[in-house]
Copies of this chain bind each other. A is one copy, B any other.
């Protein structure tokens, strides 16, 4: 398998974690987002959306991180990233979607660039924007985690799954942007539990072949 990735992309980070949890080997094809590799014709041929990640597997190209991870979970079921009961699956997918739909896309590089170039905002306003959407999502996640008996060492029970795979890259982004995590103790505890596992730490931006300080 070949993963089109960028060290800093949190959507690619999710897929790296999932591949590691499944113990699947892959090679990294680095797409440098800050240099706009994602807009070049070669990469548009891989993914017309011009975003990372994309995953090549047996001649097929898959896009969209959550769709890729559900695919990996279907063809390589062990260890499972979703519970078996429909209500549990809905809960885990919803926790993942709070990050993947309602935080991350609003803070994506292309959106921040629009705020800078088309709308003329300075770094301070963009920093406020960035942390506002993370805080808004985390303020929903914290009660959903702390008030639900299905929360364990991880978001759902005592093994890592899809919700943890999406949560961890978002917390890494929050830390990089110095968001105060004190209001989210449950979320932070789960993050710390994840970061004790090699599958998560090996997927960290700083451990990628295309990492730049």
Contacts and interface: CB of A to CB of B under 8 A. Distances in A.
Contacts of A132: 114, 118
A203 interface: no
A111 interface: yes
Contacts of A136: 110
A114 B89 contact: no
Contacts of A125: 119
A90 B114 contact: no
Contacts of A106: 105-106, 111
Interface of A: 48-51, 60, 62-64, 66-68, 70-71, 74-75, 86-87, 89-91, 93-94, 97-98, 100-102, 104-106, 108, 110-111, 114, 118-119, 121, 125, 128-129, 132, 136-137, 139-140, 143-144
Given A49-B137, A74-B89, 20 more contacts: A48-B143, A49-B144, A60-B87, A62-B87, A62-B94, A64-B97, A66-B97, A66-B101, A68-B94, A70-B93, A71-B87, A71-B89, A101-B104, A102-B105, A105-B105, A106-B111, A118-B128, A118-B132, A119-B119, A119-B129
8 contacts: A48-B143, A49-B102, A63-B94, A68-B94, A71-B86, A71-B90, A75-B86, A102-B105
